[in-house]
A = this chain, B = another copy of it.
Amino acid sequence: MSTNKKKPVRIALLGCGTVGGGVLRLLRDNQAHLAAQVGAPLEVAHVLVRNPDRVRVPECEPGWVTTDASKVLDDPTVDLVAEVIGGEQPALSYIEQAVDAGKSVVSANKMLLARHGASLLARASKAGVDLAFEASVGGGIPVIRTLRDSLTSDWVSSVHALLNGTCNYILTRMRNEGKVFDEILADAQRLGYAEAEPSLDVDGHDATQKLVVLSMLAFGAEVDDRQVHVEGIRAIDDVDFRFAERFGFALKHLAIGVERDAALELRVHPALIPGSSPLAGVNGVLNGVFVHGRALGPCLLVGQGAGEKPTAVSVVSDIVDVARARVAGVGGLSTGAIRTTPKALVPMDDVECRYYLRFDVVDQPGVLAAIAGALGRHGVSVEHMVQEARSDNGGSASILMITHTSREGAVQRALREVSGHEFMKAAARLIRIEDT
């Protein structure tokens, strides 16, 4: 039987900004192809917007547009709701209503998934519908599907990811051009690669929410994103790139998840990685997710982390998945197979890694001994050391140290001890080293 004779799958789109426009375009341009994939035609039923006058999407037919949420969510002919509004409310209550009404849901909303993912998954599972969210992390990178389907017979031991394109873009340009953060940020804002209010990106909160979403699938973990240790990139100095490379490292802003027995290490911060790591070559606005599976070994996925088109591709691939399951009468099956449970986070003091430490000091006798002494007293041993006069400032020097694997708590205590000395010209810089 031709797929076009089948009862169509009716879709309601919540939100019609750039991603929504991209979704409507893909649905229209690939109509026959998508119908063949799904086993029935896909049909847009409604497009819910706040202000119809502000819809700028030519693919959006006027007859679809409505501002009445209940008209959309109470419509029994709607099978599937695709949410591309973003933010916590009203997206959350719309999705809850849709699930409770037996509609499957596709969402691109990382904040919502980070905050309410586990409860929404349980709700969807109970209602026998699907909740798919490929577009919530890594734009067009198929990382959610890979964690859910490809690693189904394996266990993820760690995730090291570049989840924020703005951070990666700024760090890449700082490294290539030798310029300071503020200068590159201003230029990135001018070029549209950074928001006017950049905090969500450059302070690491966006990456943290995405890490929490990934952790649901990678580790089956329910975690509050506000409990995750997060540092942004504002404090990165351009000299750190030069020193990092001298030791063979690349400097990146990483979101890290590591399974440690029953607990989970989740943290988001600048980190040094070996220059030979495949992640080191992921530059500019690209995102990258480096997964280590116990049996699989390393697996890196790279692509555009944002943007209308890549995000729309992910939303539509979710729509196809969910619609196909519905047509086949197995809605909710793959969503129901995702199991999550609350997991304790390892306190930062208990994290163990190698550290890059930079001390900007007055160039006088006894300074090195004082620093080395403080580290030694806290059991932190040094693997490499370099001292260099600072060209920008007469009589001062930079001391760089790479430590052996140490406990974070011990390193922080040693730095606090050193911070009292009058020879310290600025706070010591600490960057964790990840051998990924």
Residues 306-337 of A contacting B (Cβ, < 8 Å) = 307, 309-310, 312-314, 316-317, 319-321, 324, 328-330, 333-334, 337
Q: Contacts A142-B146, A278-B302, A282-B278; is A152 near B37 (CB within 8 Å)?
A: yes
Q: Contacts A153-B317, A295-B22; is A339 near B300 (CB within 8 Å)?
A: no
Q: Contacts A286-B278, A299-B140, A337-B36; is A153 near B328 (CB within 8 Å)?
A: no
- Nearest CB of B to A25, in Å: 8
Residues 200-221 of A contacting B (Cβ, < 8 Å) = none
A145 interface residue, CB < 8 Å from B?
yes
- Nearest CB of B to A250, in Å: 10
Q: Which residue of B lies closest to A172 (CB)?
A: B276
A405 interface residue, CB < 8 Å from B?
no
A120 interface residue, CB < 8 Å from B?
no
Contacts of A278 in B (CB 8 A): 278, 281-283, 286, 288, 302
**In the complex, per-residue mask of A3-30: 1 if CB is within 8 Å of any chain B CB, else 0:** 0000000000000000000100011001
State whether A321 touches B149 (Cβ < 8 A): yes
Q: Which residue of B lies closest to A142 (CB)?
A: B150
Q: Can you tell how many copies of this chain the complex includes?
A: 2
Q: How far is the CA of A36 from the CA of B293 in the complex (A)?
A: 20
| A interface residues, how many (CB within 8 angstroms) | 61
State whether A303 touches B313 (Cβ < 8 A): no
User: Which single member of B27, B145, B312 contacts A150 (CB below 8 Å)?
Assistant: B145
Contacts of A320 in B (CB 8 A): 149, 152-153
Q: Contacts A313-B154, A330-B330; is A300 near B298 (CB within 8 Å)?
A: no
Contacts of A37 in B (CB 8 A): 152, 337
A34 interface residue, CB < 8 Å from B?
yes
Contacts of A321 in B (CB 8 A): 149
Q: Which residue of B lies closest to A144 (CB)?
A: B150
A164 interface residue, CB < 8 Å from B?
no
State whether A324 touches B313 (Cβ < 8 A): no
State whether B297 touches A26 (Cβ < 8 A): no
Contacts of A141 in B (CB 8 A): 299
Q: Contacts A281-B277, A282-B278; is A297 near B140 (CB within 8 Å)?
A: yes
A296 interface residue, CB < 8 Å from B?
yes
State whether B154 touches A26 (Cβ < 8 A): yes
User: Which single member of B140, B150, B277, B302 contacts A293 (CB below 8 Å)?
Assistant: B140
Interface residues of A (CB under 8 A from B): 22, 26-27, 30, 33-34, 36-37, 39, 134, 140-142, 145-146, 149-154, 276-283, 286, 288, 293, 295-304, 307, 309-310, 312-314, 316-317, 319-321, 324, 328-330, 333-334, 337, 339
Given contacts A151-B313, A328-B328, 14 further A-B contacts (CB under 8 A): A36-B339, A134-B150, A142-B146, A150-B317, A153-B317, A279-B281, A281-B282, A286-B298, A296-B304, A296-B310, A297-B310, A300-B300, A301-B302, A328-B333
Question: Can you identify 13 A-B contacts, CB atoms within 8 angstroms?
Answer: A26-B295, A36-B339, A140-B296, A140-B297, A149-B320, A149-B321, A150-B314, A150-B317, A152-B320, A276-B283, A296-B309, A302-B302, A328-B333
